[in-house]
Structure 1
Amino acid sequence: MASEREIFSLSGPLYLIAIDWSNTCHRRSIAASLVQGVYILERDRQQNRQGFNALAPPWWEFFHFQLIQVLVDNEDQSYFGAIYEYKFPNSHFHNKTKNDIQNQNQNPPKYVIAFRGTITKKGNRSQDFKINLTLIRDNLHNCSRFHIGLQVVHNIVQNHEISDIWLTGHSLGSSIALLIGRNMVKTGIDLETYLFNPPFTSLPVEKITKNEKLKHGIRITHSVLTAGLASAVNICKSKSINKSESITLLSSWIPYLFVNPSDPICAEYVGYFEHREKMAAIGKGEIGRIATQNSIRSIIGNAIGKDQLEPSHLLPSANVAINLSPSPDFKRAHGIHQWWNPDVQCNYKLYQFR
């Protein structure tokens, strides 16, 4: 039996009848709904819900998108992503008013590539947890889901305007979208990207203690240790040009990060960006810069001769939205549903690496 959260008419953002594409909250809600569409696509597949019984279509059709491709995992044949195409509605569609039509013409994306996160139910648990382990080990770039997603994004980018394309994902899916976005930036392509509850695969200082001074002290120690190790193995010296070029390229890309401080999976992004500002304010900006480009795992890997990529969770720039609304449990703090709630209280702040 389907849960209420799967049914758009019961839990979707029905209030978005007139969409203002210049409204950040509207764009956030739609991007999150399209990710939810991928989750429900996989549930439909598992439950063999087809035709009129399928629950996924309303999650994109309500916003005038159509599903043009489902992305399938090679290992377990599960649906992990989807490509949506926007179709401009007719002026008489649903008896829309003149203002509704004008709002719809404010640059909606032509294509959206969305990725779901981990499903812990039987049928998905094994493969999804396996991919989560590759994420924790900074090895997501070797995952087939990443390569499939990167290829479809390359195909769309070759034939359409960059401004017409969105990337979005939730949890594990946001890590895939983030890694694809980083790779596209290195080819000179900045895609508008919406990342919901992106995992921060490093020391979760934000959840270790509530003492702000202790948090700051731990982060300073961690940054100094990271920068010191990087210098000790000559990463900063032998690869400084490549690192600087990479960080300069990435700094121009400013994805939207949606995080909940009650969610231990993504909460550290709150402190990560605040700490960078504090390091600069106390004259330790260079240490912060080096720490931004390296993780202790990648430093050790390079030291023992393993070619390590830059940690994908370390971002130089981002538009960070913090959900300030109460989240009574982990399920709601990490869930995708919070991001289209009309009552959600978000604090937005731009962090740009310079």
Structure 2
Amino acid sequence: MAKIGAEEIKTTKEEENPKEEAHPYAFHVSGPRNVVAPNWRDLINSSWKDPNHKRTVIACFIQAVYLLELDRQENKTEENALAPKWWLPFRYKLSQTLMDERDGSIYGAVLEWDRSAAMADLVLIRPSGAPKAVLALRGTLLKSPTIRRDIEDDLRFLAWESLKGSVRFKGALEALKSVATRYGSNNVCVAGHSLGAGFSLQVGKALAKEGIYVDTHLFNPPSVSLAMSFRNIGEKAGFAWNRLKSMLPSSGQTLATSEEGEKISSGGLKNWVSYFYGDKTSAELKKWVPHLYVNNSDYICCYYTNPDGRDVNNGGGNKENAIPIKGQAAAKLFVMSKGKQKFLEAHGLEQWWSDDLELQMSLQNSKLISRQLQSLYSLPAPQKTPLQQLR
């Protein structure tokens, strides 16, 4: 990752607790090196406009959630806690922790812009592009106090490709709705890593269905599930059946009947929506386009890079004005380009703030992206007429 500015966050060893110096998760040990702290220059040109800076800071906030739970498990005091070092340099503060009511573990946190801390650094207003609030959600922690509930949700996704049955989904959705209502959806971000990315995608999607579009960043989102495997088998069987039907004489285009009793062509939902709405569907796609950060060497998220036959590649990683493919669900997909890596390295969160990070960005119609987002663009249920309501 290129240097973002001349002023960098620097932490000298003299300022650190001697015991914290050797800790591998201390901010000054494993945190980003070339990232700018908010300063008065942000009144003119905000660092948050740089997508590299934004990705780095948001990844640090997710790391803070992992450390909030580790601090809790290790009974760390406020003086020697590791987590605050991951949000304080960016002038944010902890406003809410999300705790699993079953085991008391912390799985998420809401971080808000700290106006008073920024004012102390002569940053009079919030930099352009910096969210007022960020909901960050961690992934699986292989530690005895929380591993049971984490694995439980991992298996939930593996079996059903859905996390809506989890109490963590409910808590995350309520927290996101709360800050979106308080600050406005344009000023709020939701982000997660691994299992947390799965939750972030699904709560973001739930709000999008209500017309509330929140900036969404997903690091190593899970893409492997038994449900998906069964559907893939079904897709291949359907493809073979369609090939067989194409060889038979046909008297006309096959028609299907919808639940409302209307006839639609075998082209499916996409053609139906396009027929009634035309280009409006493409406009709607622009309202919620999640950012996915994946690594091809990570078998948990690599399926997102499997294209659906059509792929719009925009070359560089900084093209923010890409247009979704007409009538198709889309996402900004950032792919790590480091070659083959070991799984733990490829799935780790730390890679997303590394200095030598190289990303390729495309607005891509992968099979999984289309499947995950397709339900957002289905037509609403038809409204009953007054006469029908009286029946």
TM-score (norm 1): 0.74
Structure 2 vs 1, CA of residues 350 and 43 (structure 1 numbering), >3 Å: closer, same or farther? same
The alignment's C-alpha RMSD in Å is 3.7
Measure, in 2, the Cα distance between the counterparts of 1:102 and 1:154: 28
Measure, in 1, the Cα distance between the counterparts of 2:234 and 2:337: 27
Q: Which residue, out of 282, 285, 296, partners 1:261?
A: 296
Aligned to 1:173: 196
The Cα of 1:225 is off from its aligned counterpart by 3.7
Structure with the largest fraction of helix: 1
Query: Are 1:84 and 2:119 matched, yes or no?
Result: no
The Cα of 1:111 is off from its aligned counterpart by 0.2
Per-residue CA deviations over 1:231-275 (Å, capped at 9, x if unaligned) read xxx998448999667x9566741110000000000011011xx23
| Helix, strand or coil at the partner of 1:62 | helix
| Helix, strand or coil at the partner of 1:184 | helix
The Cα of 1:190 is off from its aligned counterpart by 1.0
Q: Which residue, out of 84, 89, 111, partners 1:57?
A: 84
The Cα of 1:46 is off from its aligned counterpart by 0.2
Q: One-letter code of the match for 2:107?
A: F
Q: One-letter code of the match for 2:200?
A: A
Q: Are 1:197 and 1:260, in contact at CA under 8 Å, matched by a contact in 2?
A: yes
The Cα of 1:161 is off from its aligned counterpart by 1.7
Aligned to 1:325: 338
Per-residue CA deviations over 1:97-140 (Å, capped at 9, x if unaligned) read xxxx6996223100000000001122121111011111112341
Gaps of 5+ in 2: 1-18, 39-46, 243-254, 274-279, 313-327, 371-376, 378-391
Gaps of 5+ in 1: 206-218, 280-314
Per-residue CA deviations over 1:195-221 (Å, capped at 9, x if unaligned) read 00000034899xxxxxxxxxxxxx998
Query: Are 1:275 and 2:275 matched, yes or no?
Result: no
1:1-354 correspondence runs (5 A):
4-18=23-37, 20-88=47-115, 89-90=117-118, 93=121, 105-136=127-158, 137-202=160-225, 223-225=235-237, 237-238=258-259, 252-271=287-306, 274-277=307-310, 316-326=329-339, 328-351=341-364
Measure, in 2, the Cα distance between the counterparts of 1:80 and 1:261: 26
Measure, in 2, the Cα distance between the counterparts of 1:225 and 1:200: 22
Structure 2 vs 1, CA of residues 105 and 255 (structure 1 numbering), >3 Å: closer, same or farther? same
Q: One-letter code of the match for 2:185?
A: I
Q: One-letter code of the match for 1:277?
A: R
Structure 2 vs 1, CA of residues 68 and 237 (structure 1 numbering), >3 Å: closer, same or farther? same
The Cα of 1:27 is off from its aligned counterpart by 0.6
Q: Are 2:96 and 2:111, in contact at CA under 8 Å, matched by a contact in 1?
A: yes
Measure, in 1, the Cα distance between the counterparts of 2:240 and 2:256: 10
Structure 2 vs 1, CA of residues 324 and 148 (structure 1 numbering), >3 Å: closer, same or farther? same
Per-residue CA deviations over 1:17-74 (Å, capped at 9, x if unaligned) read 2461011111111111000000000000000011111010011111111000000001
Equivalent pairs: percent with the same residue? 31
Q: One-letter code of the match for 1:318?
A: A
| Helix, strand or coil at the partner of 1:129 | helix
Per-residue CA deviations over 1:157-190 (Å, capped at 9, x if unaligned) read 2222211100000000000000001001111111
| Helix, strand or coil at the partner of 1:349 | strand
Measure, in 1, the Cα distance between the counterparts of 2:84 and 2:297: 31
Q: Are 1:186 and 1:250, in contact at CA under 8 Å, matched by a contact in 2?
A: no
Q: One-letter code of the match for 2:148?
A: S
| Helix, strand or coil at the partner of 1:106 | coil
Aligned to 1:309: none
Structure 2 vs 1, CA of residues 203 and 6 (structure 1 numbering), >3 Å: closer, same or farther? same
Measure, in 2, the Cα distance between the counterparts of 1:43 and 1:235: 54
Measure, in 2, the Cα distance between the counterparts of 1:83 and 1:73: 15
| Helix, strand or coil at the partner of 1:348 | strand
Structure number with larger C-alpha Rg: 2
